[in-house]
A = this chain, B = another copy of it.
Amino acid sequence: MLDSRFIAFEAVVREGSFEQAARSLSLTQSAVSQRIRQLESDLGQVLLMRTKPVRPTPAGRRLLPYLSQMRLLQTEADRALQSGGGSGAMRLSVGVNADSFATWFWPAVAPVVAQEGVVLDCVLDDQDHTHALLASGEVLGCVSTRREPMRGCVALRLGVMRYRCIGSEAFRRRHFPRGLSRSALGRAPAIVFGRHDDMHEAFLLHHFGLDKGQFPYHVVPSSEGFVAVASAGLGYGFIPELQVATQLADGGLIDLAPDKHEDVTLFWHHWEVQSPVMTKLCGAIVEGAGKVLPR
């Protein structure tokens, strides 16, 4: 269904060279070059920078997401025509932040994944960066903190992820016997996700005037790792309420600052034009998030 010139363009971007692209398409290199030149001439835009590796120009990059969309529609059409699957299961790529992935995401999508027999290609990234994955066409939809949809896209409000300052009771007794204070926080090991974890930094700076570099911290790039390190009494950190509801109820973990919390509003972004299956998946995501995240 996809024009052979677009297929050649996609292959060059994927492979990073005309030579490799030709090999992957079982064409000669000159046939690939010719198709690209025709496409560029028809569109009146240069699509590729002839560098090593070959990269798309800004115009080429703008084209890529549409090609991903077309691929998906093509797969869906093929499936409808074949009427019955085979190993060519439909792949839907999604960008998700780690905390959503560790909590509500899979329960939300499970029914659609099971019923439709699709497979998911999940890319985990920071909730402030997932959006770039959508813009580049790497994913068809993403969980993001961004409110405004980009051109050609839709943004739906998922709800509020509430983060609380969590640690174990033993940790509190050892480090905060008289509650949170600037001096105690300057010595108690925090848990942060990456070297730039804005939430923890902002909390200590805003409420206690502690700058980065004035408190010790473990770097733990895993949502479940956060809970494990906090449960072991080795640190404290900001964890979604949702993720530790059980531990908060049974006292395995406690809220160290019950009068303070940090809220992050999440949105689901997807392309306006999308396939019927992707529409179902988006519906399930919005519905599933809505069940557990306060609006």
- Chain A residues engaging chain B, CB cutoff 8 angstroms: 85-89, 91, 98, 101-102, 106-107, 110, 113-114, 117, 119-124, 186-187, 189, 214-225, 228-229, 232-235
Contacts and interface: CB of A to CB of B under 8 A. Distances in A.
A91 B215 CA distance: 12
Contact of A222 (B102, B114, B121): B102
A215 B106 contact: no
19 contacts: A85-B187, A87-B186, A87-B216, A88-B216, A89-B187, A89-B189, A89-B216, A102-B222, A102-B225, A113-B218, A117-B189, A119-B216, A119-B235, A120-B218, A121-B218, A121-B219, A122-B220, A122-B225, A124-B222
Contacts of A223: 224
B225 A106 contact: yes
B234 A113 contact: yes
A234 B110 contact: yes
Contacts of A186: 87
Contacts of A229: 106
Contacts of A221: 122-124
Contacts of A220: 120, 122
B121 A234 contact: no
Contacts of A124: 221-222
A218 B187 contact: no
A72 to B, nearest CB: 15
A123 B193 CA distance: 10
B216 A106 contact: no
A236 to B, nearest CB: 12
Q: Which 9 A-B pairs have the closest CB atoms?
A: A89-B216, A224-B224, A121-B219, A87-B186, A119-B216, A119-B218, A110-B232, A120-B218, A119-B189
A164 B235 CA distance: 33
A225 B101 contact: yes
Contacts of A85: 187
B98 A222 contact: yes
